[in-house]
Amino acid sequence: MIAIIDYGLGNIQAFVNVYNRLGIPVTIAKTAESLETAHKLILPGVGAFDHAMELLNASGMRQTLDDLILGKKVPVLGICVGMQILANSSEEGALDGLGWIPGHVCAFKSAPDVAALPLPHMGWNDVHVTCEHRLFKGVEEEVRFYFLHSYFFECMNRDAVIATASYGIDFCCAVQSDNVYGVQFHPEKSHHFGTNLLKNFAEL
């Protein structure tokens, strides 16, 4: 069973709809107890880093998530801000992130080559998969996903970067360390590319 973590952010129903179409069992988790039967977890998110952390910390699920992901090694996929809060910290806020993948979230506006470009970075963008990875199994060589963000994940361990994209600069848009996965783009808005990725995550 895949559990979509509902802590008040993200288009939860969009993920449920994708998995329903695929015939893959899915549930919405709003409490620590509802997480306990999950074999995989999806952590969505939109908006600001600190707001996401405030809501997750207040949800009553934080300790259980740490136990499942760090202790029992349950696979988790963070999406958009859900990927950013996998990091230790962010230029966007003052709160600590989850620290499940060591890194820092940086603002596009602090990069000179992006300063003249519109922000947020919004719309379809090519994604370069940097290694053969089962999360991207079966996708075309020229894979595209839908983005909406003004910050990007700077990973401390370059070996954890599994895909990049370009917007003035090359930036990390997908990471994996052990059982923790993250993507900056929105697979639930990315048509067959996103459906394929979510299916691959379910089949890990």
Q: What is the 3-state secondary structure (H, E, C) of 21-89?
A: HHCCCEEEECCHHHHCCCCEEEECCCCCHHHHHHHHHHCCCHHHHHHHHHHCCCCEEEECHHHHCCCCE
Whether omega before 102 lies within 30 degrees of 0, making that bond cis, reads no
pLDDT of residue 19: 97
pLDDT of residue 115: 75
User: In the chain, what are the domain boundaries?
Assistant: 2-202
pLDDT of residue 142: 77
Q: Which residues are catalytic?
A: 80, 186, 188
pLDDT of residue 114: 85
For residue 176, which of 161, 156, 186 has the smallest C-alpha distance?
Answer: 161
Class of 2-202 in CATH: alpha beta
pLDDT of residue 24: 97
pLDDT tens digits, 83-141: 999 999 999 999 999 999 999 999 999 888 887 899 999 999 999 999 889 999 987 66
For residue 86, which of 154, 168, 39 has the smallest C-alpha distance?
Answer: 154
pLDDT of residue 140: 62
Give helix then strand counts, H and E, for the chain: 6, 12
Cα–Cα distance, 26 to 30 (Å, whole number):
13
Cα–Cα distance, 54 to 76 (Å, whole number):
19
Residue spans of the chain under pLDDT 50: none
Residues, the chain = 204
